[in-house]
Structure 1
Amino acid sequence: MADLRTSLSLAASGMEAQAARLRHVSENIANADTPGYQRKTISFHAAMDGAAVQAGPVRLDRSALVRIYDPGHPLADDSGHYDGSNVDLVIEMADAREAQRSYEANLRMFDQARQMTQSLFDLLRR
C-alpha cells in the first residue's frame, strides 16, 4: 500500500513541477514583445526524500537581448535602437509541448496508481 501511495506522490510532484514550468513558459510567451524582458527558466531537483521532484529557483536567461532599430520608439537611443527581449517563440513552444507531454505522462501514472489502489480495495472488500 505504501508503494501505491509513493507512486501517487511521485506523479503529483511531477505534475506540480511541470505546471510551474508551463507557467513560466506562458509568461515568456506573453512578454516576448516587451522591451528589455529576459526569458525565465526553471530547473528541477530532487526533493528532500530523494524520490519526488521539485521546481528549482527561477533564473533569468542571460543571453543577449535583441537590438531593434526603430527611431520612433520612445525607448530608442541616439542611434535609433532599443533592447527587445531574448524570448524565442519557437523554443518556448517546444518547451510548452515538452512540459505538456511530461504533465500528461505523470497524469497517466497517477491515474494508473489510483486505479490499482481502487482494485486493491475492491479485492479486500470481497
Structure 2
Amino acid sequence: MSELSNSLEVSTTGLRAQAQRLRHTSENIANADTPGYRRKTVPFEDVVGRGEIGGVRTGRVQLDRSDPQRVYDPNHPLADETGHYDGSNVDLVVEIADAREAQRSYEANLKIFDQARQMSAGLLELLRR
C-alpha cells in the first residue's frame, strides 16, 4: 500500500507544479501588451533526497532576460524622441505552446493519480473479502 500512496504523492507534486506553470503562463499572456513587462518562467526541480519519495517542485520564478520588443508609436506616453518604447518580451505563440504542454502534463498527472486511487480502492476491496 505504501507504493500506491507514494505514487499519489508524486502525481500530486506534478499537479501542483503544472498548475503553477499555468498560472505564470496566463499571467504572461495577460501582460503581453504591458510596456516593460518581462516574461516569467518557472523551473522545475527534482525532489529526491533523504526521506523524500521523489517528485517535482517549482523553483524560484525567473524573469526572461531577452530584450523587449521595440514598438513604434509616437503617440504613446512612454515613447522617446524617435517614437519608440520598450514593449514586453512575451511571445504569444511560445506562451500558448507552453500552456498546452502544461495542460497535457497536468492531465497526465491527473490520470496517474486516478489510476493509483482506483488501484488502492481495488486493493482495499480485496482485503475486505
TM-score, normalised to structure 2, is 0.95
Q: How do residues 57-68 of structure 1 correspond to structure 2 at under 5 angstroms?
A: 57-68=60-71
| Higher fraction of strand | 1
Question: Structure 1 residue aligned with 2:90, among 87, 92, 109?
Answer: 87
In the alignment, the residues of structure 2 paired with residue 18 and residue 3 of structure 1 have an alpha-carbon distance, to the nearest angstrom, of: 23
Structure 1 residues 50 and 114: CA distance shift in structure 2, 3 A: closer
Q: How do residues 1-16 of structure 1 correspond to structure 2 at under 5 angstroms?
A: 1-16=1-16
Paired-residue identity, %? 65
Q: How do residues 93-104 of structure 1 correspond to structure 2 at under 5 angstroms?
A: 93-104=96-107
Deviates more, 1:78-87 or 1:48-57: 48-57
- Write the deviation string for residues 76-106 of structure 1: whole angstroms up to 9, x where unpaired: 0111110000000000000000000000000
Instruction: Name the structure 2 match of 1:121.
Output: 124
What is the CA distance between 1:66 and its match in structure 2?
0.4
What is the CA distance between 1:52 and its match in structure 2?
1.4
Other structure's SS at 1:38 match? coil
Q: Structure 1 regions of 5+ residues with no counterpart?
A: none
Instruction: Name the structure 2 match of 1:71.
Output: 74
Deviates more, 1:48-57 or 1:99-108: 48-57
Q: Structure 2 regions of 5+ residues with no counterpart?
A: none
In the alignment, the residues of structure 2 paired with residue 50 and residue 96 of structure 1 have an alpha-carbon distance, to the nearest angstrom, of: 27
RMSD over aligned Cα, in angstroms?
0.8
What is the CA distance between 1:50 and its match in structure 2?
6.0
In the alignment, the residues of structure 2 paired with residue 68 and residue 16 of structure 1 have an alpha-carbon distance, to the nearest angstrom, of: 36
> Number of matched residues?
126
Other structure's SS at 2:97 match? helix
In the alignment, the residues of structure 1 paired with residue 100 and residue 84 of structure 2 have an alpha-carbon distance, to the nearest angstrom, of: 33
TM-score, normalised to structure 1, is 0.98
In the alignment, the residues of structure 2 paired with residue 101 and residue 69 of structure 1 have an alpha-carbon distance, to the nearest angstrom, of: 37
